[in-house]
Homo-oligomer: A and B are copies of this chain.
Amino acid sequence: MRIGELAAAAGVSVRALRYYEEQGLLASRRSAGGHRHYPESAADQVWLIQQFYAAGLSSKAILAIMPCIETGEVTPEALALLVAERDRIDRQVEGLASARDRLDTIITTAGTPSCTGHPYRPAG
């Protein structure tokens, strides 16, 4: 498939796909004229890249991890990185849960009779 189709299929921009290739995260075959061509499996791969980006991994980290996913082979360095990122995500989830609870408390408290309805009474 061509880059526009892949972009549509994966729900990302064409520019993003070129950027992934630039970072070494996504390979492509080229036509005689230089146009990129992808296999069907590329969509899943892009999905995974997006997921890792969303999880806060950098391009470099993803680059180091991707081969492990494709081949199953894990170097000690990659393993260390994997563990470090997993633990970082764990801590991030804790922080998120904490912030979430904070927001939720305010939301719930706002539902209290003494507060609901009228917004900010200047001289009440």
Residues of A within 8 A of B (CB): 48, 51-52, 54-57, 65, 68-69, 72-77, 79, 82-83, 85-86, 89-90, 92-93, 95-100, 102-104, 106-107, 109-110, 115, 119-120
A97 to chain B minimum Cβ distance, whole angstroms, is: 7
Oligomeric state, in number of copies? 2
Q: Are B51 and A115 in contact (CB under 8 A)?
A: no
In the docked arrangement, what's the CA distance between A97 and B94, Å?
11
Q: Are A79 and B107 in contact (CB under 8 A)?
A: yes
Q: Are A51 and B100 in contact (CB under 8 A)?
A: no
In the bound complex, residues from chain B placing their C-beta under 8 Å from that of A99 are: 51-52, 54-55, 57, 89
In the bound complex, residues from chain B placing their C-beta under 8 Å from that of A48 are: 102
In the bound complex, residues from chain B placing their C-beta under 8 Å from that of A93 are: 93, 96-97, 100
In the docked arrangement, what's the CA distance between A98 and B76, Å?
23
Q: Are B120 and A75 in contact (CB under 8 A)?
A: yes
A112 to chain B: closest residue by CB: B72
In the docked arrangement, what's the CA distance between A37 and B120, Å?
29
Q: Are B73 and A115 in contact (CB under 8 A)?
A: yes
In the docked arrangement, what's the CA distance between A107 and B77, Å?
12
A110-B54 in contact given A89-B96, A93-B97, A104-B86 (Cβ < 8 Å): no
